[in-house]
A and B are shown apart, each in its own frame.
Chain A
C-alpha cells in the first residue's frame, strides 16, 4: 500500500514532488482506477500525488476555439456544464455513462484517458472529437492527440510517475457539425460497455454532403480505434442511407475486438458494430442538420 499522500497546490509543486520520488510516486486524480489497482496489487507506488485540489486545474472554459478542461474536472462536472453541453454535447453525454454518480463525482476525464482502457467512455468521445491532451513534465509542455496516447490495452503513453496531463483541449462544435455517442451495455449503470461508438460529422453548407467524418469504435483495439476507411468513404459523399451503410460495413473491417466472457464474444461484437456505427452516423447527421454550431 502507499506510504505518502500529497495534496500539492500547484502543478509546479506536483512536478517537484514527482521528481523527488524518482518514479516511486504516482499522480492520482479521482483515484477510482488507481486505488483499486494498488489494492489488488496490479500496480505499485510508494506515494500518491493528488492533483484534484490544484486551483489551476479546475476550470472548464472556452479558449481560442477550444473547450479547455482542467485535469481536475470530473465526469459529473463535465456532464452538468452548460458550456460542455453546448460545445461538445457527446462529451457531456459520454460522461453521464461512466459508472455511477458517486464515481462520476470524483473520477476525472484525464484519469479516464490515462488509465488506458480502450472503451473508457469519456476517452472515446474525446477521441471522436479530436481532443488533445496538454502534458507537462519538469522540462516543458507538449501536446498529443487523445487517440494517440494508447500503447496497449490498459497502458498509456503518459507516465504518471513522471508527467502530468494538465488539460484536455476539445475543438468546439461548429456550424454544420453533428455528433453521436452510442453505448451498448447490459446494464444502465455500473457496467462497462460491450461496445462504444462515437462519431462527429461535418456537413457542407447545404447539409447534403459530408465534408468530413470522424468515427471512433471501442473496445476493438488497444485504444479507441478510428475507422479511416469509413471516414474516407464518407468524405464528400452524400448523406444517404447507402453511403452510411457502406461506411458502417467498412468500419467493421478495421475493428479487431477480443472475445470477452463478460461483455460479448468477438463474433457478437462484429455483428452489432456496423449497426451501432450506422445508428450513430444517422443520429449525427440529423443533429448536424439542426445545429448552427452552437446548440447540440
Chain B
C-alpha cells in the first residue's frame, strides 16, 4: 500500500488558531450595520388556540420596528428539520409547522416575535402583546397520546397521533425463533429527554436585499437543505436564498440538522417586514424549551437464545415521544430498529416502532439518533442472558456478533468489523477479570464493571436521501481550493477534508484552501449529520481530488513526454518514476522545448494557465454505507446508602475504519462518551403536570462538568472499510451509543439490580436498593 504522508496524522486543526485567539466568528458574534434584534413571545400553555392577539401597544413602544404573528406571516407549511428535504421518494415528508400558527402545541411554542433596536426593547415589547387563549386538552406521554380519548395534535394516517409511517423490519420468523430458544429475556425500558446543550444557542441573522434576495447567516449544520426549507417556507425560488455559516458553529450534535429551531425563519420574517438585517439569538432557556431534544420513550426487547448462548430471535419495539411537531420523528425510530438489529447475528428478527405526537417540545435528531435508546434495552438483555446462562458477557457477545458478509436487515453489506478487537481492547483497559471480585462483603460502597457494544451508520442512506458534491479548483500557483457544502461545527471537517485532498492529489497540506458551509460558494451537499461528513463528503472530496490528479498527470504526461502511469506525483512534485527528489532541482520547465524529467505543481499550474487552461476536479458521489463498531467497558461505584452512582472510568474502543486525524477522532469519542455518561446518570428534562419544562437552564439540567467527568480512554481500532475514503467510517455519534447500557450493566454488576429507566439518579437507585433489601429481609 502507498505510504501516507498526511492522512493518519494528528495534525493541528485548521481553525485552531482563530479559536484559540478569540477571532473565530460565530453567528452570535455577527453585527451588521443597521441590524435589529428580535425576541420571541412563547406559549405559556401546552395546547391552546389563539383567539385574539393584540400587538398595538407593542408596536407603539419606542424602538420597536416590527411585530410578527400568524396574521402577517406566510402560511406555508414546512418542517424545521431537514427531513423535509431528504425524505425518500417512496414516502411523504411530514410538513406540520408554520412560522407562527394560531394554535400553540407546547409550552414554548412560537406566538409572536418583535424586531427592535435592542434586545432589551424587544423584550419589553413582548410584555405588551396581549394574547387571549382558549385552552385545549393536552397530553404528554406517548402511550396516552395514542389512546382514543387523547386530543388530536396533528392529523395522522398511520394511527392516532402517529406522524409518518409505522416502521416494521422483519427477517426470518421470530415466533419460530423464540420457540426454539431455551431461554428468553423480555422487558420494557424507559428513556428520558436529553438535550444537546451545544454551547452556542440557536442563532441566525437575516438580510433581505431590495430585490428580495435573502441571505441568512446561521448555526445550521446543513446550509443547503436549510436553503430548500427557507425557500419553501417563504415561497421564493431557491436561487434567491443564500444560507451560510459565519463560518463557525458552536456545536450541533443534531440540534440544527435543517433549521436552527425557528431562528432562521423568524429572522427572515422580521427582516422582510423591516427591510433591515435582523438578529435572533435564542436565550439558553429558549434553547432548552423550544429547540429539538432527544426522543424520550419506551423500548421493549425480547431476546431468545439457545443454552450454549447462540441467539435465536430478537423482537424490538419502540414508541418514542415525538413532541409537538414531527421534526425527525419519522426517521429516528427507523434508525433505532435498524441499528439495534444489526449488531448480532440473529436469524429471526423483528422491529416495530414509531413516534407519537404529544404536547411537549419537539424531539428531533440528537447524536445517536434513536440508537442509544435501543441499545440501552438490547445490551441489558444480552447481559441478562449471559447472567442466566452463567456465561461471561464478553464471550457471549463475541460468540454472537455480526461478521463480515453475514446476512442482516440492512440493504448494504457489512464489509468490515473490528468489534471483536474493540471488545477485547476495552475489556483489557479496564482489567475485566476483576469483575465479580471487586467488593468486600457487607461493603456499603460497591464497584462494578459492565460492557455495552453497538454499531451505527456512516451516512443517512437508506433512511434518507444522501449524496455529496465537491469541487476542487487548482489555482494558478498550484495551490488548490476545495469547495464543500458541509459546515465546520467542531468536528474537524475543514482539517480532515483538506487532509484527504492533499494526500489524494499529492501536494502539501498548506497548499489546500477550503470554502465550506455556504450555499453561494459550494455545490449542494446534504450536510453534517449521521456521522457522515468525513465518510460521505470525504468520498466526494477524494473523487474530486482524483479527478484533479488525473487531469494534472495527463497534462504533465504531455509535457514530460511520459505516459501518466509512469509518473509519480507526491508532495507537489510530478516526476518520472524512479527519479529521486534530489535530482529534481531547478524550475523543471524547459525553456528550449527539450524534454524534462520533472515539474513542480506550481510550475505546471502556471504553465497551463499561460496556455488557457485550469484544472477543476468534480466529485459527485452517492456514498454506500459502512458500519462503525464500538465497545465500551465502564467501571462504576454505587453508594448503597444514598443511591449515588459515580462513573469511574470508561474505556471506549472504536472501529473507525481508518483514523484520518487520530487526535480529532479521539476528541469525537471522548465527547460522545461524556454525553453518554450524562444521559446515563444525571441528564433529563422533566415537566410539571401542565407540561411546563422544569429543567430549563444549565444550572438545573445536570450535564457533566470537568469535575464530574470520569477518566475516559479512547481506543482506536482500524479495519479499513473498502467503501470509505482511505478506509474511514463514521465516528461522530458513536461515543453515545453503547454508553448507557455499559453503565447500567456495570451498576447491575455492582448491585445485582437491573435498572430499566434512565437516568440513574440517586433517588431512583436508592428506591430499588431498598426494595431489594426488603425482599431479602
A and B touch in the complex (CB under 8 A): yes
Output the residue of B642, B643, B704 with the most chain A CB within 10 A: B642
Establish whether residues A187 and B705, one from each chain, have CB atoms under 8 Å apart when the complex forms.
Answer: yes
Establish whether residues A184 and B694, one from each chain, have CB atoms under 8 Å apart when the complex forms.
Answer: no
Establish whether residues B694 and A188, one from each chain, have CB atoms under 8 Å apart when the complex forms.
Answer: no
Expressed in whole angstroms, the minimum distance between the Cβ of B288 and any Cβ of chain A is: 13
Expressed in whole angstroms, the minimum distance between the Cβ of A66 and any Cβ of chain B is: 33
| A184/B708 contact (C-beta < 8 A), A191-B699, A261-B694, A262-B694 known | no
**Among B203-211, B571-579, B584-592, B759-767, which stretch is in contact with chain A?**
B759-767
Q: How far is the CA of A187 from the CA of B698 in the complex (A)?
A: 11
In chain B between 689 and 708, which residues have their CB closer than 8 angstroms to a CB of chain A?
A: 694-695, 698-700, 702, 704-708
Expressed in whole angstroms, the minimum distance between the Cβ of A191 and any Cβ of chain B is: 6
Query: Which of A1, A184, A192 is B762 in contact with, Cβ under 8 Å?
Result: A184
Query: Which of A187, A189, A262 is B695 in contact with, Cβ under 8 Å?
Result: A262
Mask: chain A, 258-290; 1 = CB below 8 Å from B; 0 = not: 000110110010011001100000000000000
A274's nearest neighbour on chain B, judged by CB, is: B641
* Interfacial chain A residues near B762, Cβ < 8 Å: 184, 186, 194, 264, 268, 272
Expressed in whole angstroms, the minimum distance between the Cβ of B63 and any Cβ of chain A is: 15
* Interfacial chain B residues near A194, Cβ < 8 Å: 762
Establish whether residues A265 and B700, one from each chain, have CB atoms under 8 Å apart when the complex forms.
Answer: no
In chain B between 272 and 313, which residues have their CB closer than 8 angstroms to a CB of chain A?
A: none
* Interfacial chain B residues near A188, Cβ < 8 Å: 705, 707-708
Mask: chain B, 740-777; 1 = CB below 8 Å from A; 0 = not: 00000000000000000000011100110010000000
Expressed in whole angstroms, the minimum distance between the Cβ of B442 and any Cβ of chain A is: 15
Q: How far is the CA of A188 from the CA of B644 in the complex (A)?
A: 12
> Cβ of A157 < 8 Å from any Cβ of B?
no
B interface, CB within 8 angstroms of A: 120, 641-644, 682, 686, 688, 694-695, 698-700, 702, 704-708, 761-763, 766-767, 770
Establish whether residues A268 and B763, one from each chain, have CB atoms under 8 Å apart when the complex forms.
Answer: yes
Establish whether residues A275 and B641, one from each chain, have CB atoms under 8 Å apart when the complex forms.
Answer: yes
B682's nearest neighbour on chain A, judged by CB, is: A186
For the complex, would chain B's binding face be called helix, strand, loop or mixed by DSSP majority? loop
Q: How far is the CA of A188 from the CA of B677 in the complex (A)?
A: 14
Q: Sample 6 A-B pairs with CB under 8 A, ordered by A number.
A: A184-B642, A188-B705, A190-B698, A261-B688, A262-B695, A272-B641
| A186/B761 contact (C-beta < 8 A), A271-B766, A272-B641, A272-B642 known | yes
Establish whether residues A189 and B763, one from each chain, have CB atoms under 8 Å apart when the complex forms.
Answer: no
Q: How far is the CA of A164 from the CA of B700 in the complex (A)?
A: 31
Expressed in whole angstroms, the minimum distance between the Cβ of A15 and any Cβ of chain B is: 32
Establish whether residues B702 and A187, one from each chain, have CB atoms under 8 Å apart when the complex forms.
Answer: yes
Mask: chain A, 90-123; 1 = CB below 8 Å from B; 0 = not: 0000000000100000000000000000000000
Q: How far is the CA of A271 from the CA of B640 in the complex (A)?
A: 12
| A191/B702 contact (C-beta < 8 A), A262-B694, A272-B641, A272-B642 known | yes
Query: Which of B694, B705, B763 is A190 in contact with, Cβ under 8 Å?
Result: B705
Expressed in whole angstroms, the minimum distance between the Cβ of A46 and any Cβ of chain B is: 17
Q: How far is the CA of A271 from the CA of B768 in the complex (A)?
A: 13
Q: How far is the CA of A261 from the CA of B686 in the complex (A)?
A: 8
* Interfacial chain A residues near B708, Cβ < 8 Å: 187-189
Give how many A residues have a beta carbon under 8 Å from the other chain's beta carbons: 20
* Interfacial chain A residues near B702, Cβ < 8 Å: 186-187, 191
Expressed in whole angstroms, the minimum distance between the Cβ of B211 and any Cβ of chain A is: 41
Expressed in whole angstroms, the minimum distance between the Cβ of A273 and any Cβ of chain B is: 10
Expressed in whole angstroms, the minimum distance between the Cβ of B97 and any Cβ of chain A is: 29
* Interfacial chain B residues near A272, Cβ < 8 Å: 641-643, 762, 766
For the complex, would chain A's binding face be called helix, strand, loop or mixed by DSSP majority? loop
Expressed in whole angstroms, the minimum distance between the Cβ of B676 and any Cβ of chain A is: 16
Q: How far is the CA of A51 from the CA of B386 in the complex (A)?
A: 64
Establish whether residues A264 and B682, one from each chain, have CB atoms under 8 Å apart when the complex forms.
Answer: no
Query: Which of B120, B644, B698 is A184 in contact with, Cβ under 8 Å?
Result: B644
Expressed in whole angstroms, the minimum distance between the Cβ of A107 and any Cβ of chain B is: 14
In chain A between 177 and 205, which residues have their CB closer than 8 angstroms to a CB of chain B?
A: 184, 186-192, 194
Number of A-B contacts (CB under 8 A): 55
* Interfacial chain B residues near A276, Cβ < 8 Å: 642
* Interfacial chain A residues near B770, Cβ < 8 Å: 271
* Interfacial chain A residues near B644, Cβ < 8 Å: 184, 186
Extra pairs beyond A186-B682, A186-B702 (5, CB < 8 Å): A188-B705, A189-B708, A190-B698, A261-B694, A262-B686
* Interfacial chain A residues near B694, Cβ < 8 Å: 261-262
Query: Which of B120, B642, B705 is A275 in contact with, Cβ under 8 Å?
Result: B642
Q: How far is the CA of A188 from the CA of B646 in the complex (A)?
A: 11
In chain A between 238 and 267, which residues have their CB closer than 8 angstroms to a CB of chain B?
A: 261-262, 264-265
* Interfacial chain A residues near B704, Cβ < 8 Å: 187
Expressed in whole angstroms, the minimum distance between the Cβ of B128 and any Cβ of chain A is: 15
* Interfacial chain B residues near A189, Cβ < 8 Å: 705-708
A278's nearest neighbour on chain B, judged by CB, is: B641
* Interfacial chain B residues near A186, Cβ < 8 Å: 644, 682, 702, 761-762
Mask: chain A, 110-145; 1 = CB below 8 Å from B; 0 = not: 000000000000000000000000000000000000
* Interfacial chain B residues near A192, Cβ < 8 Å: 699
Output the residue of A189, A191, A194 with the most chain B CB within 10 A: A191
Expressed in whole angstroms, the minimum distance between the Cβ of A293 and any Cβ of chain B is: 31
In chain A between 1 and 15, which residues have their CB closer than 8 angstroms to a CB of chain B?
A: 1
Q: How far is the CA of A144 from the CA of B707 in the complex (A)?
A: 36
Q: How far is the CA of A186 from the CA of B708 in the complex (A)?
A: 9
Q: How far is the CA of A194 from the CA of B644 in the complex (A)?
A: 12
Q: How far is the CA of A260 from the CA of B702 in the complex (A)?
A: 15
B688's nearest neighbour on chain A, judged by CB, is: A261
Q: How far is the CA of A1 from the CA of B707 in the complex (A)?
A: 35
B641's nearest neighbour on chain A, judged by CB, is: A275
Expressed in whole angstroms, the minimum distance between the Cβ of A259 and any Cβ of chain B is: 11
* Interfacial chain B residues near A271, Cβ < 8 Å: 766, 770
Establish whether residues B682 and A187, one from each chain, have CB atoms under 8 Å apart when the complex forms.
Answer: yes
Establish whether residues B763 and A264, one from each chain, have CB atoms under 8 Å apart when the complex forms.
Answer: yes
* Interfacial chain A residues near B763, Cβ < 8 Å: 264-265, 268
Expressed in whole angstroms, the minimum distance between the Cβ of B678 and any Cβ of chain A is: 9
Mask: chain A, 9-46; 1 = CB below 8 Å from B; 0 = not: 00000000000000000000000000000000000000
* Interfacial chain A residues near B695, Cβ < 8 Å: 262
* Interfacial chain B residues near A187, Cβ < 8 Å: 682, 702, 704-705, 707-708
B678's nearest neighbour on chain A, judged by CB, is: A187
Q: How far is the CA of A191 from the CA of B706 in the complex (A)?
A: 13
* Interfacial chain A residues near B686, Cβ < 8 Å: 261-262
Expressed in whole angstroms, the minimum distance between the Cβ of B323 and any Cβ of chain A is: 19
Q: How far is the CA of A127 from the CA of B672 in the complex (A)?
A: 42
Establish whether residues A268 and B766, one from each chain, have CB atoms under 8 Å apart when the complex forms.
Answer: yes
* Interfacial chain A residues near B120, Cβ < 8 Å: 1
Q: How far is the CA of A184 from the CA of B686 in the complex (A)?
A: 20
Q: Which 7 A-B pairs have the closest CB atoms?
A: A188-B707, A268-B763, A189-B705, A275-B641, A189-B707, A187-B702, A272-B642
B762's nearest neighbour on chain A, judged by CB, is: A186
Establish whether residues B700 and A262, one from each chain, have CB atoms under 8 Å apart when the complex forms.
Answer: yes
* Interfacial chain A residues near B700, Cβ < 8 Å: 262
Expressed in whole angstroms, the minimum distance between the Cβ of A96 and any Cβ of chain B is: 11
* Interfacial chain B residues near A1, Cβ < 8 Å: 120
Expressed in whole angstroms, the minimum distance between the Cβ of B686 and any Cβ of chain A is: 5
Expressed in whole angstroms, the minimum distance between the Cβ of A120 and any Cβ of chain B is: 14
Expressed in whole angstroms, the minimum distance between the Cβ of B337 and any Cβ of chain A is: 32
Expressed in whole angstroms, the minimum distance between the Cβ of A117 and any Cβ of chain B is: 13
A187's nearest neighbour on chain B, judged by CB, is: B702
* Interfacial chain B residues near A268, Cβ < 8 Å: 643, 762-763, 766-767
Expressed in whole angstroms, the minimum distance between the Cβ of A154 and any Cβ of chain B is: 16
* Interfacial chain B residues near A100, Cβ < 8 Å: 705
Q: How far is the CA of A187 from the CA of B700 in the complex (A)?
A: 10
Q: How far is the CA of A192 from the CA of B700 in the complex (A)?
A: 8
Establish whether residues B699 and A190, one from each chain, have CB atoms under 8 Å apart when the complex forms.
Answer: yes
Q: How far is the CA of A189 from the CA of B706 in the complex (A)?
A: 8
Q: How far is the CA of A189 from the CA of B705 in the complex (A)?
A: 7
Q: How far is the CA of A1 from the CA of B121 in the complex (A)?
A: 12
Expressed in whole angstroms, the minimum distance between the Cβ of B238 and any Cβ of chain A is: 41
Expressed in whole angstroms, the minimum distance between the Cβ of A265 and any Cβ of chain B is: 6
Q: How far is the CA of A262 from the CA of B761 in the complex (A)?
A: 11
A276's nearest neighbour on chain B, judged by CB, is: B642
